[in-house]
Chains A and B, each alone.
Chain A
């Protein structure tokens, strides 16, 4: 497992899109996204250093989720400059592939697969060695308290359980950047406590968290971005 993590780190270091020492993990300058005539994300400027946690706050429709999708390379910005983990977006977004842990509003889980099958699929897509993936999936399921339901159909799970599995999927490949859209939604206090260490920033891991809970978001963040 340690060897696998080291191999992933080597691969990231060899990647020309890796963050240079001292360079920010995220650098946005007047980044904007329009949907037709409507502005989805008003011009936004922010800089996040490696290992920091940024909380994104704002009312519904202010562009929080849009910002996360742009940072993940899933959406093109209309205007402005964005450099994420050394990759200039949208031109170099292919360099972000495999280096971002993204948790959106909708769980990226197939309803007719079990949690373990969903995580195995994600592991295969990220090129994790099968033996390493099995161990890591087992560990993650245990951490989030889902090992007993790991082989049930995902469709049969509650929203909170799906959220826990989706968090496992987002962190499975140990990405250097976590983009989390309301990670606490549907979770009870005990589940929040369980997942907290999995999604913490620090070291080489940078984190952007969208939240409606202003106090909780501010408490765990190095910086706050207010939208809208």
Chain B
């Protein structure tokens, strides 16, 4: 088994065994939908409002997992374990980012159908929206893994991660909400600028995957 596969399997195994992140993320998302439903006093959402509610909820739910991403490495010596092994630190970056993408996809498999049930009159825009969300997940995971590592090394870790991460994620939110606005429009999805948003998300993902690859080994240094 490769070091990447071993680290990824470790994270998924621990999550399945302890259920520390995923249930909290799903519960947060569903509770937020309930609050929006009563707070907005609307039984149906479409366009920019629907996309905004969905993307913001998923983003804040993701923060729960990002804050916990390196807790075991910090408290149980996982960073030293990787630094003592004959592997590049970026293997840990790849494994952690992959685990985060998997958590986010599972979250969306639970949360998006519930969102549709609560707010949408048609599910026709959900399939293309899945592609947008997947690309957003990759960007979120790449950026979140880098920032979570920086925050883990700090004493103000719970504050630091959202403070640095949220501004960096603005392009992801703009692209995902922008695409969602047209895909969740009343009267069915509009694919007018779909390609542009895909391109923007793809570009963001590439940049932050490269940034993570380039800096992660240095982040693991003392």
Are chains A and B native binding partners rather than an unrelated pairing? yes
CA of A214 to CA of B78 in the docked complex: distance in angstroms? Answer: 31
Q: Which of A99, A100, A104 contacts B77 (CB 8 A)?
A: A104
Contacts of A112 in B (CB 8 A): 14, 17-18, 72
Question: Cβ of A98: which chain B residues have Cβ within 8 Å of it?
Answer: 84-86
Whether A113 contacts B77 by the Cβ 8 Å rule is no
Interface status of A109 (Cβ within 8 A of chain B): yes
Q: Is A127 a contact of B1 with CB atoms below 8 Å?
A: no
Segment touching B, from A47-55, A70-78, A138-146, A191-199:
A70-78
Q: In this assembly, does B170 line the interface, its C-beta being within 8 Å of a C-beta of chain A? A: no
Say if the beta carbon of A122 comes within 8 Å of chain B: yes
B91 to A: closest C-beta gap in Å:
8
Please state if B85 and A76 are interface contacts (CB–CB under 8 Å). no
Q: How does the 8 Å CB contact mask read for B48-79 relative to A, with 1 for contact and 0 for none?
A: 00000000000000000000000010001110
Could you tell me if A125 and B222 are in contact, using CB atoms closer than 8 angstroms?
no
Distance in Å: Cβ of A179 to nearest Cβ of chain B: 10
B2 sits at the interface (CB 8 A):
yes
Secondary structure dominating the interface of B? helix
B78 pairs with A108, CB closer than 8 A: yes
A66 to B209, CA, bound (A): 34
**Contact between chains at B1 and A130 (CB < 8 Å):** yes
Interface residues on A, range: 20 to 34
A contact residues around B222 at 8 Å (CB): 74-76
A97 touches B83 (CB 8 A): yes
Which residues of A sit under 8 angstroms from B84, Cβ to Cβ? Answer: 72-74, 97-98, 100, 102, 108
Kindly report which residue of chain A lies nearest to residue B18, judged by CB atoms. A112
Min CB distance A123 to B, Å, is: 8
Report yes or no: B83 in contact with A109, Cβ–Cβ below 8 A. Answer: no
Give B222's nearest chain A residue, CB to CB. Answer: A75
Inter-chain contacts of B40 with A (CB < 8 A): none
Q: Is B158 an interface residue (CB 8 A)?
A: no
Q: Which residues of B contact A124 (CB under 8 A)?
A: 1-3, 5-6
Decide: B77 and A125 in contact? CB cutoff 8 A: no
Judge whether A106 is part of the interface by a CB distance below 8 angstroms.
yes
B-chain residues with CB within 8 Å of residue A106 when the two chains form the complex: 76-77
Q: Which residue in B14, B81, B221 is a CB contact (below 8 Å) of A125?
A: B81
Decide if B43 is an interface residue (CB 8 Å cutoff). no
Cross-chain contact B83 with A74 (CB below 8 angstroms): yes
List residues of chain B with CB within 8 A of the CB of A130. 1
Does A20 interact with chain B (Cβ within 8 Å)? no
Is A174 at the interface (CB under 8 A from chain B)?
Answer: no
Q: How far is the CB of A35 from chain B (nearest CB, A)?
A: 11
A117–B7 Cα gap in the complex (Å)?
A: 11
CB–CB B13/A125 < 8 A: no
| Given A125-B82, A127-B3, A130-B1, A110-B87 contact (CB < 8 Å) | no
A97 interface neighbour in B6, B77, B78, B87, Cβ under 8 Å: B87
Bound CA–CA A99/B84 (angstroms): 8
B6's partner among A102, A104, A125 (CB-CB below 8 A) is A125
Indicate whether A121 sits within 8 Å of B80 (C-beta atoms), given known contacts A76-B222, A98-B85, A98-B86: no
Q: Using an 8 Å CB-CB cutoff, how does the interface string of B198-222 with A read, 1 for contact, 0 for none?
A: 0000000000000000000000011
Q: In the complex, which residues of chain A have a beta carbon less than 8 angstroms from the beta carbon of B193?
A: none
**A18 interfacial by beta-carbon distance below 8 Å:** no
Query: Measuring CB to CB, which residues of chain B are less than 8 angstroms from any residue of chain A?
Result: 1-3, 5-7, 10, 13-14, 17-18, 72, 76-78, 80-87, 221-222
User: What are 30 residue pairs bridging A and B, where the CB atoms are less than 8 Å apart in the complex?
Assistant: A73-B84, A74-B80, A74-B84, A74-B222, A75-B222, A76-B221, A76-B222, A97-B86, A98-B84, A98-B85, A102-B84, A108-B76, A108-B78, A108-B81, A108-B84, A110-B14, A110-B78, A111-B72, A111-B76, A113-B13, A117-B10, A124-B2, A124-B3, A124-B5, A125-B6, A125-B7, A125-B82, A125-B87, A126-B86, A127-B3
> 4 closest A-B pairs (Cβ-Cβ)?
A98-B86, A124-B6, A108-B77, A125-B85
